Amino acid sequence: MKDNEVATVTEFVFDEAPSRARRVLRSGDTIVGTVRPGNRSFAFIHEPVPDLTASTGFAVLSPTVADNTAFVYLAATQDASIEHLSHVADGGAYPAVRPDVVSALACVVPSAEILRAFNVVACPLLVKVSANQRQAQNPRHPSRHPAPPPDLRPTAPAAGRIAGRLIGHIVTFSSLPS
For residue range 8-67, what is the model confidence (pLDDT) as tens digits? Answer: 666 766 666 666 666 788 889 999 999 999 999 999 988 777 778 888 888 999 998 888
- Residue 3 falls inside a structural domain: no
Q: What span, in angstroms and rounded, lies between the C-alpha atoms of 49 and 26?
A: 7
H or E element: which one contains 86?
Answer: helix 79-88
How deeply is 6 buried, as exposed, middle or buried, from its count of CB atoms within 10 A (0-12, 13-18, 19+)? middle
Coil/strand/helix, residue 175: coil
* Residues 170, 111 contacting (CB under 8 angstroms): no
More confidently predicted of 74 and 170:
74
- Residue 161 falls inside a structural domain: yes
Tell me, what amino acid is at 130? S
Residue 135 structural domain: 14-173
Q: What span, in angstroms and rounded, lies between the C-alpha atoms of 41 and 159?
A: 32
Q: Using 50, 70 and 90 to split pLDDT, how confident is the model at 132?
A: confident
Number of other CB atoms surrounding residue 73 within 10 Å: 28
pTM of the entire predicted model: 0.72
Residues 6 or more apart whose Cβ sits within 8 Å of residue 140? none
Of 31, 51, 37, give the one whose Cα is nearest residue 174. Answer: 31
- Residue 6 falls inside a structural domain: no
- Residue 103 falls inside a structural domain: yes
- Residue 178 falls inside a structural domain: no
- Residue 9 falls inside a structural domain: no
- Residue 158 falls inside a structural domain: yes
H or E element: which one contains 128?
Answer: helix 112-137
* Residues 97, 88 contacting (CB under 8 angstroms): yes
Number of domains in the chain: 1
